[in-house]
Structure 1
Amino acid sequence: MVVLKNLHQELSRFRKRVLAAGAFVLFCFGLLVARLVWLQVVQYDSFAERAESNRIAVVPIVPNRGLIKDRNGVVLASNYSAYTLEINPEKVVDLDATIEALGQVIEIQARDKRRFKRLLEEAKHTDSLPIRTKLTDEEVARFTAQRFRFPGVEIKARLFRSYPLGEVGAHLIGYIGRINQAEKKAMDDWEEEDLANYRGTEYIGKLGLEQAYERELHGTTGFEQVETSAGGRAVRRLAHRPPTPGNTLNLSVDIKLQALVEQLFGERRGALVAIDPRNGEVLAFVSKPTFDPNLFVDGIDADSWRDLNEDIDKPLLNRALRGTYPPGSTFKPLMAMAALNTGKRDPRTIIQDNLSFSFGGRTFGSPETDRAGPKDMRLAIVTSSNVYFYGLANEMGVDLIHDQLEPFGLGRRTDIDVQGEVTGDLPSTEWKRRKFKRPEQQKWYAGETISLGIGQGYNNFTMLQMATAYATIASGGLRFKPRLVRDIEDVVRHEDRRVASDALTPLPLKPADVAIIHNAMNGVTLEGTSRLAFLNAPYQSAGKTGTAQAIGLKAGEKYSAIKADERKRDHSLYVAFAPVDHPTVALALIVENAGFGSMSAAPIARRVFDYLLLGQYPSEEDIAKTQMGQTFAPIGTPRRAADVPLPGQPGQAASAPAVAASAASVPASGASR
């Protein structure tokens, strides 16, 4: 009985163990089923998407950047395809060793390594970075044969920007460069659609038109959906949407004229802006010295960057847009226009010019070349009388001068279609209160007004502002926003969208008053300070020379160009428009530290007018002499502009400008000196 009882107990315990084990197995099986349901049912979509992502990759396709052309169709910015050797840092175990090994297959210079290091420091979670660009076919073949040795390294075909004319027009065209961290941060605020358009893009416009018209030039990024292997290499294409190329910018600028002016400046510093007063189109936009934008295309090397930044001549400074200068005597016709518009002085009023003007115990003098005698408004402009305009400034006062000349575009941005324009300084009592911090500096003193009349004192303007002001004078009050881009060509729809000719409210100038200023400025070219530069010109032009102090002088101190340091010498300025009766071009230019406006600036203006109105290009001898400030009227035999090729482009001459229908055909007369 005891044995049976023990047997029953053992069987009972065994059954319990079996039941417990069975329950545990069922529990585990339930967990497995639940996990399978979770993975296969609940999480199916998520894991299916992840699995598909491992198999399918979406590769962005960067669009061709839009072209930039001048008014005659000359290509100023284009694209070309080239091979680059690129490294994905995240897939390389020993980066330094890999670069050294690559150097045994393909030449990698020290500057390539420095640029790669800089890009590596700036980049975050990027796919690949170039260690070498613009590989030859032989270099591509050598690497391809040994590609298995370099995981994480590959050759890619990339689009590169090209500026065929090099330094010509660099400031207005600008350049593209790699997107830096500051730009990436700014892009975070973009709309998702705009941001998506830059996936796969590493470059963006940095300066000039490349920057201002980035959205037009960039185009729309396409994509390619490909099936990839386990190693991440494309096996076959599943879907494809081609990119849309960027639009073409057609400029109003004549690049051959631009190149000519840059050549005429030679090694000198300065700026020139030429505008069509009938519509605001910019014909030339020169800043000297200039630079080669091709240096920036695939990342400028440290040596070139240092040279550009440390150059005392500041080649990266756009002097036409950001350089501000006292206008000197080129300000006088504007003062006369303000006087006529307000009735402050009758043009027939005679002022006795004794070559000095006294005010508040101080004597304001005149250059030694001035002639004493009675002068009306016309003669005061022709002879560039300081005394006449000292007195006029005193009569008008600083605030009236400001209010009359600000509408001409002085002391404010013109809203030209490039970024970075400065306002310059057209002083007023309110301007001075804002300009200075200390109370004693904020007060306007009556004696400060006197120098304003001859374009000195606090007056500081860009050549763009001066050209805009004289375009308004030339047109009799018509005003336009200056524009570098004439129209934008949609390369897909083959439609042109007009950009220039954005008219502003005209100024209510009286035709009789405008005629007085035109006649006086014409007199400057016939009997005044620019008569030698325009000797025998077969058209009538209007102009005004200016010689502006680069540094201030103490009371009673005399200026000596011979003794002065080269960078402390006076600036040479000229403003002009032509033909007088129906102006088609207005310009303003400065040659820094070059002395009298009649000797350096006016001769350049003469050659610009000869090019635009006559289709003439100066002789090589004339260009060489003009670069040194040793010419007035052209010398040698001028050439047909159509026959002269662009710099560095032998035999590829751009179309010559048509001779303006309004150009006068009667030779100038009365040039007695």
Structure 2
Amino acid sequence: MRSRNRQTIRDSHAEAALFNRRVGFAMFVVVVVFSVLLYNMYTLQVVQHESFQTRSNDNRIRVVPIAPNRGLIYDRNGILLAENRPVLSLEITPERVQNLEDTLQRLQQLLNLDDESVSDFYTAQKRERRFRSVIFLDSLNEEQIARFAVRQHEFPGVSLEARLVRHYPYADALTHALGYVAKINRNDVIELREQGVQANYAATRTIGKLGVEGFYEEQLHGTVGYQQVEVDIHGRMLRTLSIEPPIPGQDLYLEIDLPLQLKVDELLGDQRGSIIVMDPRDGGILAMVSKPSYNPNWFAQGISVAQYQSLLQSRHSPLLNRTTQGGYPPASTIKPQLAIVGLEEQIITPETKIWDPGWFQIKGVDHRYRDWLSWGHGWVNVTDAIVESCDTFYYDLALKLGIDTISEHMTQYGFGEYTGIDIAEETAAVMPSRGWKRARFNQPWYTGETVSIGIGQSYWTSTPMQLAVATSVVA
């Protein structure tokens, strides 16, 4: 016989109790989860509301700097010497260009550009995001503008943009007085950071390098402005929310008299040298020319490698400001000042006379120091010596004064010192002394060197600006 399977009787009470326990546990978990969610929502929306609102605004709102207009420079008559001229630059937005390499090649052919322009663009592009425009050509001439305007439809993502650049209408006639502005480089950034003014140059592309432009950079630059703009998730500008306009730089009025400056420039012509016209009443520089010169607009508008190399390699050194950086033996130009020293020290009087046979000789020394007039000037006093530029008289005077007295007095005239002219590129030249020679050559001072000092020779060097200052003292 087969045994039958017995069916177990279900315990409904036990199952109901198990179900209730499971439901209770699930409800507990749900309550805990919702409590955590509610706590987090409260924390995010109430406790940390301000923090997340700030982050949201930072992602949505951008502060864009606005460059100030650079101050203008005028001469004493109100004639404009340095201005801001509007130009058109060619800019490319890489994100909107399908084939960037092909576009650059076609632009290069269309505008007759060299390979340097393309390489400069790639260098600049690395510093920008793809949706931001990058300058391809700083300033276009009329022919380039016309060529591109006709075929602009063939270059999506390429546009003409207007901006202001520094322009010097009188070009090389004022270069060594005005100086120039040029693109901000790495060294400029380091210097601005050290000075704590880098933020003020957030939107500025150029900075004063030399001359008045460099010396008065702080006054000419102005104060940067800002605009708040709303951007999308990719950083593209949607609309402007507010603007804090920039403060333009201060205008400068110089002592330079432009008609006189141009006349002096014409008189110097193609000769190497410098001319300074100074008002002795107040030391104002009415004209200051150094030749050869160069066109400062090359730097202001972006100088090419070829142009810069031509300046560096020129045997005429056009970059040298001869008025303040050229050190030359002052020669006979210092004889009036030396005569005054002799009178002040009572080494000579207005009536003192010496016999000039055409040479001077130190007692006990065979060497003769020649006068420029080989047969001599005969009997000469201090007035005759100045009028006729008698070397022999000044050989004798220098020996009687001695190097210590000469050096002390000539330093008071400004020799061997900075003149304080308001351009940065200046040298102090050399006013020799015993201490200077010992420090420079570790040698003693010899008597014969004092004799040569009497006619502005030996180690003595001076800049034309120092000579102008010393002459104005006498005048």
* TM bin (shorter chain): 0.7 to 0.9
User: Is 1:174–2:174 an aligned residue pair?
Assistant: no
Q: Which residue of 2 aligns with 1:448?
A: 449
Q: Which residue of 2 aligns with 1:325?
A: 328
Deviation at 1:95, TM superposition (A): 6.0
Indicate which of 409, 434, 438 corresponds to 1:433.
Answer: 438
Q: Which residue of 2 aligns with 1:190?
A: 195
Q: Which residue of 1 aligns with 2:91?
A: 86
Q: Which residue of 1 aligns with 2:470?
A: 469
Indicate which of 413, 417, 422 corresponds to 1:417.
Answer: 422
Q: Which residue of 1 aligns with 2:401?
A: 396
1:380 alignment partner, SS class:
helix
2-side partners of 1:145 and 1:29: how far apart?
Answer: 59
The alignment of Structure 1 onto Structure 2 pairs a total of residues equal to 464
Judge conservation of contact 1:178–1:299 (CA < 8 Å) in 2: yes
**Distance change (3 Å), C-alpha of 1:105 and 1:2:** farther
Deviation at 1:297, TM superposition (A): 1.4
Q: Which residue of 1 aligns with 2:166?
A: 161
User: Is 1:73–2:78 an aligned residue pair?
Assistant: yes
Could you tell me the TM-score, scaled by structure 2's length? 0.88
**Distance change (3 Å), C-alpha of 1:52 and 1:97:** farther
User: For each residue in 1:356-395, what CA deviation from the matched residue of structure 2 results, as whole angstroms up to 9, or x when unmatched?
Assistant: 2223442212235563411111111222111111111111
1:134 alignment partner, SS class:
coil
Alignment of 1:95-134 (within 5 A): 96=101, 99-100=104-105, 103=108, 108-117=113-122, 119=124, 129-134=134-139
1:189 alignment partner, SS class:
helix
Residue 171 of structure 1 aligns with an amino acid whose one-letter code is H
Judge conservation of contact 2:189–2:198 (CA < 8 Å) in 1: no
Judge conservation of contact 2:261–2:288 (CA < 8 Å) in 1: yes
Deviation at 1:411, TM superposition (A): 0.9
1-side partners of 2:458 and 2:82: how far apart?
Answer: 41
Judge conservation of contact 1:64–1:218 (CA < 8 Å) in 2: yes
**Distance change (3 Å), C-alpha of 1:128 and 1:386:** farther
Indicate which of 222, 226, 231 corresponds to 2:225.
Answer: 222
Could you tell me the TM-score, scaled by structure 1's length? 0.63
Residue 194 of structure 2 aligns with an amino acid whose one-letter code is D
Residue 41 of structure 1 aligns with an amino acid whose one-letter code is V
2:195 alignment partner, SS class:
coil
Indicate which of 199, 204, 211 corresponds to 1:201.
Answer: 204
Indicate which of 196, 204, 213 corresponds to 2:216.
Answer: 213
Indicate which of 322, 338, 346 corresponds to 1:343.
Answer: 346
User: Is 1:241–2:256 an aligned residue pair?
Assistant: no
User: Is 1:258–2:261 an aligned residue pair?
Assistant: yes
**Distance change (3 Å), C-alpha of 1:29 and 1:100:** farther
2-side partners of 1:314 and 1:120: how far apart?
Answer: 35
Indicate which of 18, 37, 45 corresponds to 1:40.
Answer: 45
2:280 alignment partner, SS class:
coil
Task: Say which structure is richer in helix.
Answer: 2
2:297 alignment partner, SS class:
helix
Deviation at 1:169, TM superposition (A): 0.9
Gap regions ≥5 residues in structure 1: 475-673
**Distance change (3 Å), C-alpha of 1:199 and 1:13:** same
1-side partners of 2:248 and 2:224: how far apart?
Answer: 8
**Distance change (3 Å), C-alpha of 1:90 and 1:141:** closer
Judge conservation of contact 1:402–1:427 (CA < 8 Å) in 2: yes
Judge conservation of contact 1:326–1:456 (CA < 8 Å) in 2: yes
Judge conservation of contact 2:110–2:148 (CA < 8 Å) in 1: no
Judge conservation of contact 2:358–2:374 (CA < 8 Å) in 1: no
2-side partners of 1:328 and 1:373: how far apart?
Answer: 22
**Distance change (3 Å), C-alpha of 1:106 and 1:379:** closer
Judge conservation of contact 1:370–1:383 (CA < 8 Å) in 2: no
Judge conservation of contact 1:69–1:75 (CA < 8 Å) in 2: yes
**Distance change (3 Å), C-alpha of 1:124 and 1:459:** farther
Judge conservation of contact 1:219–1:246 (CA < 8 Å) in 2: yes
1-side partners of 2:309 and 2:407: how far apart?
Answer: 41
**Distance change (3 Å), C-alpha of 1:13 and 1:450:** farther
Deviation at 1:446, TM superposition (A): 1.9
Residue 416 of structure 2 aligns with an amino acid whose one-letter code is G
**Distance change (3 Å), C-alpha of 1:453 and 1:94:** farther
2-side partners of 1:88 and 1:334: how far apart?
Answer: 66
1-side partners of 2:74 and 2:178: how far apart?
Answer: 10
1-side partners of 2:412 and 2:96: how far apart?
Answer: 61
Deviation at 1:317, TM superposition (A): 0.6
Deviation at 1:99, TM superposition (A): 3.1
2:65 alignment partner, SS class:
strand
Judge conservation of contact 1:357–1:365 (CA < 8 Å) in 2: yes
Deviation at 1:5, TM superposition (A): 7.6
Indicate which of 306, 312, 325 corresponds to 1:309.
Answer: 312
Judge conservation of contact 1:106–1:142 (CA < 8 Å) in 2: no
Deviation at 1:130, TM superposition (A): 1.7
User: For each residue in 1:71-97, what CA deviation from the matched residue of structure 2 results, as whole angstroms up to 9, or x when unmatched?
Assistant: 222211101222322356799898645
Judge conservation of contact 1:85–1:133 (CA < 8 Å) in 2: yes
Residue 469 of structure 2 aligns with an amino acid whose one-letter code is T
Deviation at 1:410, TM superposition (A): 1.0
Judge conservation of contact 1:108–1:131 (CA < 8 Å) in 2: no
Please say which structure displays the higher CA radius of gyration. Answer: 2
Judge conservation of contact 1:105–1:142 (CA < 8 Å) in 2: no
2:376 alignment partner, SS class:
coil
Judge conservation of contact 1:115–1:301 (CA < 8 Å) in 2: no
Q: Which residue of 1 aligns with 2:3?
A: none
Q: Which residue of 2 aligns with 1:357?
A: 360
Alignment of 1:473-484 (within 5 A): 473-474=474-475
Residue 371 of structure 1 aligns with an amino acid whose one-letter code is G
Judge conservation of contact 1:106–1:143 (CA < 8 Å) in 2: no
Deviation at 1:404, TM superposition (A): 1.1
2-side partners of 1:92 and 1:6: how far apart?
Answer: 78
**Distance change (3 Å), C-alpha of 1:171 and 1:29:** same
Judge conservation of contact 1:332–1:381 (CA < 8 Å) in 2: yes
Indicate which of 256, 281, 284 corresponds to 1:281.
Answer: 284
2-side partners of 1:125 and 1:274: how far apart?
Answer: 52
Of stretches 19-28 and 426-435 in structure 1, the one that deviates more from structure 2 is 19-28
2-side partners of 1:352 and 1:106: how far apart?
Answer: 75
2:171 alignment partner, SS class:
coil
Judge conservation of contact 2:139–2:301 (CA < 8 Å) in 1: no
2-side partners of 1:17 and 1:106: how far apart?
Answer: 81
2-side partners of 1:15 and 1:146: how far apart?
Answer: 76
1-side partners of 2:332 and 2:125: how far apart?
Answer: 54
Deviation at 1:51, TM superposition (A): 2.7
Q: Which residue of 2 aligns with 1:374?
A: 379
Deviation at 1:132, TM superposition (A): 1.0
Deviation at 1:214, TM superposition (A): 1.0
Judge conservation of contact 1:115–1:299 (CA < 8 Å) in 2: no
User: For each residue in 1:319-373, what CA deviation from the matched residue of structure 2 results, as whole angstroms up to 9, or x when unmatched?
Assistant: 1010010011112111101111111111211111112222344221223556341
User: Is 1:271–2:274 an aligned residue pair?
Assistant: yes
Deviation at 1:237, TM superposition (A): 3.2
Q: Percent identity?
A: 38
Deviation at 1:312, TM superposition (A): 0.8
Q: Which residue of 2 aligns with 1:513?
A: none
Higher relative contact order by CA 8 Å / sep ≥ 6: 1 or 2?
2
2:467 alignment partner, SS class:
helix
1-side partners of 2:98 and 2:330: how far apart?
Answer: 62
Indicate which of 289, 294, 300 corresponds to 1:297.
Answer: 300
**Distance change (3 Å), C-alpha of 1:64 and 1:258:** same
**Distance change (3 Å), C-alpha of 1:342 and 1:78:** same
